[in-house]
A = this chain, B = another copy of it.
Amino acid sequence: MPSSPSTSRTLFDDDRTGIIYRTAARIIYEKGFDATSMSEIAEALDLTKPGLYYYVKGKKELLYSIMRCAMNLLDSDVVEPAALIADPEERLRVIIREHARLLTNEAGALAILIDEDGGLSAEHREDIAKRKRAYFEFLRRTLEALEAEGRLREVDSTVAAFSLLGMVMWIARWYDSKGRLASEKVVQDVTEIALAGMLVPRSKESMGLAQVQ
């Protein structure tokens, strides 16, 4: 069995399994999990079906591995940097910005996380769900910290967290890297909309550089 079939150091390794995960993620993202056959994935890798099965244990395992990699990516690129920031407003901004940035770049793998969890076995699904929940709670706690300082609007923190998540996750569905909009413009705008939707408007005293129109 080659290298590490499931540990995946940081995100996608550069070895064969890494390439397999990435390719599979792209195809599954484009066509949907059920609609994608193992033969198709194998063909895209210049392999036959059993050739692919040499590297992966099964279709569900493959999906699970991809999802774990995606969650790792989310943790390392979004949660870890954000967790270092004390100020809740600034932390929120980093979460939104980095998550959005991630989605405009490595859309395929990340987007699978959104849907396609029906393809997992019960235990695997619970595992992924737990990690998703952890991310959600991280976001929600940030909003509650904001609330404690009177800087969050008068909305339920759960509703607010889901609204943010929806706005950001949705990017994967519509953003086209070859389209009119530059990825950084999208990230900027979404971040601004999200922050403005959450924060209670600062009445007069403008500290630091305000978002000028």
Contact = CB atoms under 8 A, between A and B. Distances in A.
A11 interface: no
A213 B153 contact: yes
27 contacts: A32-B118, A34-B34, A35-B119, A153-B193, A153-B196, A153-B211, A154-B213, A155-B189, A155-B192, A156-B185, A158-B181, A159-B185, A159-B186, A159-B193, A160-B189, A160-B193, A163-B189, A163-B190, A165-B170, A166-B168, A166-B169, A166-B170, A166-B173, A169-B170, A170-B170, A193-B198, A201-B201
Interface in A159-213: 159-160, 162-171, 173-174, 181, 185-186, 189-190, 192-194, 196-198, 200-201, 211, 213
Interface in A77-130: 115, 118-119
> What copy number does this chain have within its complex?
2
A163 B170 contact: yes
A96 B163 CA distance: 12
Interface of A: 31-32, 34-35, 115, 118-119, 150, 153-156, 158-160, 162-171, 173-174, 181, 185-186, 189-190, 192-194, 196-198, 200-201, 211, 213
